[in-house]
Amino acid sequence: MGYLRKASKTLKQSNYVSLLFNFNLTHQRFSLNRALFCTQSRQNNTKEKPVIDLSQYPPELVRNFSIIAHVDHGKSTLADRLLELTGTIKKGLGQPQYLDKLQVERERGITVKAQTATMFYKNIINGDDGKESPNYLLNLIDTPGHVDFSYEVSRSLAACQGVLLVVDAAQGVQAQTVANFYLAFESNLSIIPVINKIDQPTADPDRVKAQLKSMFDLDPSDALLTSAKTGKGLEQVLPAVIERIPPPHGRSESSLRMLLLDSYYDEYKGVICHVAVVDGALRKGDKISSAATGRSYEALDIGIMHPELTSTGVLLTGQVGYVISGMRSTKEARVGDTIYHTRSEGPVEPLPGFKPAKHMVFSGLYPADGSDFEALNHAIERLTCNDASVSVAKETSTALGLGFRCGFLGLLHMDVFHQRLEQEYGAHIISTVPTVPYIYEYSDGSKLEVQNPASLPSNPKQRVVACWEPTVIATIVIPSEYVGPVITLVSERRGQQLEHSFIDSQRAFMKYRIPLREIVVDFYNELKSITSGYASFDYEDSDYQPSDLVKLDILLNGQPVDAMATIVHNSKAYRVGRELVEKLKKVIDRQMFEISIQAAIGSKIVARETITAMRKNVLAKCYGGDITRKRKLLEKQKEGKKRMKRVGSVDIPQEAFHELLKVS
């Protein structure tokens, strides 16, 4: 779908890297550094005698921070540089975008899983007063930047006390900058503005400073000017982190409370949880429990990400690291969960803000080849091991056979899930048109949440008294000359303007309430194309709103194709129906019978096309020498048929389903 391709750099799971570094290398530190680079072989020793002594880092020497930015403003490169600067990764070694480990993250320049990294740093600037500066432990928590994962982001930010707000010196404030700023601002975090990419010829840091002032009321003199590419200005970054971001405020003497930031599944080690210790301390072998699930585990291995798994045997108040506790599936590791000692003295108050994943976009996933159901089942099981935020339920379609109805946090999440299924598991899938969860209310007072349009009765027994659809608050930042076309586009999508202002003389900022359904298909591409790629767009979930919705059925020779049903606003039903029918006419081949393609609301036909019957398909001659060749030809034809999906007597090519995804 190519959807929201560039929307964000970080989707999910915190990347935190412990940056272990000391400018004045002591013997002790040196040996420690060496140990770092052979993490794997060292593991056994570590269990006996941790090399890194975390007790040297009380909360006041710990800083937990995150980098937030609009996509492509240089977040990942800046993270790489900080890791290099502290010797956590060796310069020139390892791949760029160190914390973005998935193929999809690298390809799209986004972060899907949160990562963490622990760094060690000695502040040389403070060392000027003659008093030796202590070593600091800095945890970089790399969060997904995209709105689909705003819940994960808010959880990651909950483990931070401050952020680096990175803004491209040429592009200035963009939609995601705004969204991310408010997330950080609402979490009461210290915000350090970093104007990055100042080496560009078009860089205009002063303009960006002015934008930061007018949009966010950030003091221009607080902004750091950097180029992560050339290294310019980077030396100011970590001192600023230490000076301007407060230490974590947990209570060391309290019972253990840990925030679960994210988890991932490792073939050999099982579920690995990224955690932030808010209060108390965790030691290897401790019995721990989850507040969300009530399940108990044993902390089998504990450590920091430095930058890979590095056992420490202990995690103290304010520190960030990983826990391996024998969880079988990441479904047990809920983002935002609170983990505490099973035998705590007195009740433990869970950390605030936990909520289960909210699925905003649903689509049916079917094996492209019907016989591959088991393989797809397996692939989805494996992938959801690593991404527990997807809801999966089996469903059956008359057209597509056995498949799954999957719920996603948002569009990008869905897109990424599809891509990972194909890239990491080689699954070939047909996806139905994504839909949003509508709510229907009937005259008998019953309510129905519709996650699959096909499940909505076309001719219900009860009268529908109301329906609601989810809306989003969309933020759009564009060069001022595109305001006209954008307003037209958004009003076509039933958007309602909430705010229209200017970031500066060249850049407009608009806020809209838009039904989620309207941006599910092709909105971002359209927006990009009418603004020559200059628009930036972000959105956040908002309320359900009453709406005049109808179910649009697609019928082939009078038979509804369940996988093609869709729910649309009444005002658009005719247009969408016509578009769908025309698309289908183009992709369905002529067959032995005449085929009628209809779009219908209930029993009312709103659009119709006919595909005339095939007249002739015959091989005129078949003699001895031809038999093998003719048979191969017919077998090829048979294979073609086999790949098609059949409804009644009509063969539907897979492309038909792909094409329908493109109709808004």
Partner 1 sequence: MLKSTFTPIYLVLSPKPKSPKLSSHIITNTFSNSTQPVRQNSSLKHTPSSAYVHLPFCRKRCHYCDFPIVALGSASTQTQNDPRVSNYIQWLCREINATKIDEENTNTPLQTVFFGGGTPSLVPPTMVSSVLETLRNKFGLSQSAEISMEMDPGTFDYKKMQEMMLLGVNRVSLGVQAFQEKLLRSCGRAHGLKEVHEAIDIVKSCGVENWSIDLIASLPHQTSDMWEESLRLAIEAQPTHVSVYDLQIEQGTKFGRMYAPGEFPLPCETQSAEFYKMASRMLGDANYNHYEISSYCKSGYECRHNYTYWKNKPFYAFGLGSTSFVGGLRFSRPKMVNEYMNFVQNLENGSVNSSSDNDIHGKDTAMDVVMLSLRTARGLDLKRFGESFGSSLVLSLLEAYKPYVESEHVVFLDEQRITIGIDDVKNAHLDETNSERRVAYIRLSDPNGFLLSNELIALAFGVIDS
List residues forming the annotated binding site: 69-76, 142-146, 196-199
Paired strand residues for 219: none
Q: How far apart are CA 468 and CA 463, in angstroms?
A: 15
| In the complex, minimum distance from the CB of residue 400 to partner 1, in angstroms, rounded to a whole number | 17
Q: Which of 78, 218, 348, 379 binds partner 1 (CB under 8 A)?
A: 379
Query: Could you tell me if 116 and 16 are in contact, meaning their C-beta atoms sit under 8 angstroms apart?
Result: yes
Site membership for partner 1, residue 634 (CB under 8 A): yes
Segment interacting with partner 1, rule: CB under 8 A, options 53-61, 97-105, 230-238, 365-373: 365-373
Site membership for partner 1, residue 372 (CB under 8 A): yes
* Cα atoms in the 13 Å half-sphere on the side-chain side of 553: 20
Q: Which of 206, 374, 381, 481 binds partner 1 (CB under 8 A)?
A: 374
Handedness of CA 333, 337, 340, 343 (dihedral sign): negative
| In the complex, minimum distance from the CB of residue 626 to partner 1, in angstroms, rounded to a whole number | 8
Helices 483-492 and 523-530, packing angle to 10 deg:
160
Paired tokens of 605: 């036909």
Draw the binding track, 536-565, toward partner 1 (x: CB under 8 A; -: no contact): ------------------------------
**# residues contacting partner 1 (CB under 8 A):** 39
Interaction with partner 1 in 30-89: which residues (CB under 8 A)?
none
Q: Which residues are annotated as a binding site for GTP?
A: 69-76, 142-146, 196-199
Q: Which of 484, 498, 627, 662 binds partner 1 (CB under 8 A)?
A: 627
Angle made by CA atoms 397, 419, 579, in degrees to the nearest 5: 55
| In the complex, minimum distance from the CB of residue 591 to partner 1, in angstroms, rounded to a whole number | 8
Q: Which of 125, 285, 649, 662 binds partner 1 (CB under 8 A)?
A: 649
Q: Which residues contact 340 (CB under 8 A, 6 or more apart)?
A: 255, 256, 257, 258, 288, 289, 291, 348
| In the complex, minimum distance from the CB of residue 630 to partner 1, in angstroms, rounded to a whole number | 7
**H or E, element range at 78:** helix 75-85
Q: Which of 31, 381, 635, 662 binds partner 1 (CB under 8 A)?
A: 635
Among candidate residues 656, 663, 659, 588, the one with its CA nearest the CA of residue 400: 656
| In the complex, minimum distance from the CB of residue 367 to partner 1, in angstroms, rounded to a whole number | 8
Segment interacting with partner 1, rule: CB under 8 A, options 19-27, 325-333, 500-508, 585-593: 585-593
* Burial group, residue 514, by CB count within 10 angstroms (0-12, 13-18, 19+): buried
Helix (H, G, I), strand (E, B) or coil at 414: helix
Q: Which of 90, 251, 641, 662 binds partner 1 (CB under 8 A)?
A: 641
Handedness of CA 399, 404, 405, 406 (dihedral sign): negative
The 391-397 sheet, strands edge to edge: 391-397, 401-408, 361-367, 429-431
Q: Which of 376, 595, 600, 607 binds partner 1 (CB under 8 A)?
A: 376
**Rg of the chain (C-alpha set):** 28
Paired strand residues for 599: 554, 607
Interaction with partner 1 in 607-626: which residues (CB under 8 A)?
614-625
Handedness of CA 354, 360, 361, 366 (dihedral sign): positive
Draw the binding track, 401-430, toward partner 1 (x: CB under 8 A; -: no contact): ------------------------xxxx--
Q: Which of 358, 394, 642, 662 binds partner 1 (CB under 8 A)?
A: 642
Contacts with partner 1, residue ranges (CB under 8 A): 369, 371-372, 374-376, 378-379, 425-428, 591-593, 614-625, 627-628, 630-631, 633-635, 637-638, 641-642, 649
